[in-house]
Structures are given as structure tokens and as C-alpha cells.
Amino acid sequence: MEGDEFMSDWSARNGYPGGDNEEKCNFCGCKYRVQYSLQDGHNEREEYYCPDCGKEYGVRASLTPTVTKISGRTDNRDVKYIEGE
Ligand SMILES: [Zn+2]
């Protein structure tokens, strides 16, 4: 399939949109949007952080994801997330 070969070659050399998700932090309740791109052969675990408490999350992507805050935390606290707490 010529068309498929062209697409796989193209996607190995160019990034393309991999996801656009609305997520909610399970530590503080902050809502945020995560956008990331993919590129064949370059995808690995990339970290991103909750914009309010800093909790680390990960997604398979080619570049560090862009996080846009949608709404603030809902836990009425002011603490940062501490790993293992
Ligand atoms: Zn959070």
C-alpha cells in the first residue's frame, strides 16, 4: 500500500497531534487540559505536572506536554503534592 508507506514515513519525521485531554488532578481536584504530540520512533514517557499542586503525571509522547489550567483546586488546601504522601 503506497499510501500507508507514505504516511508511516511522514509520521517518523514529523510530529503530529497525539492527544488533547481534559484531566482532573486526583490529589487536589484541579482541572486542566493536556495537549501532546507524537512522533514515530520518538515517543517515550514524558512528565507533566498538575498546575496547582505539582503532582507528577506521565504520558507517552514525543515532547513535553502542554498543560493549561481550566479551574483551580477544590480541596481547600494550599499544600503541594509530596510523592508518597
Ligand atoms: Zn493537583
Interatomic CA distance for residues 81 and 34, integer angstroms: 19
How many angstroms separate the alpha carbon of residue 18 from the centre of ligand 1?
23
Q: Say how far apart CA 73 and CA 70 lie, in whole Å.
A: 10
> Rounded CA gap, 80 and 4, in Å?
47
Residue 35, pLDDT score: 98
Q: Could you tell me the pTM of the whole model?
A: 0.83
Distance 44 CA to ligand 1 centre (A): 23
> Which stretches in the chain have pLDDT values below 50?
1
Q: How far away, in angstroms, is 72 Cα from ligand 1 center?
A: 9
Residues in the chain: 85
pLDDT at 1: 47
The reported pLDDT for the residue numbered 83 is: 77
Helix, strand and coil in the chain, % to nearest 5? 15, 40, 45
Cα dihedral across residues 67, 73, 78, 80: positive or negative: negative
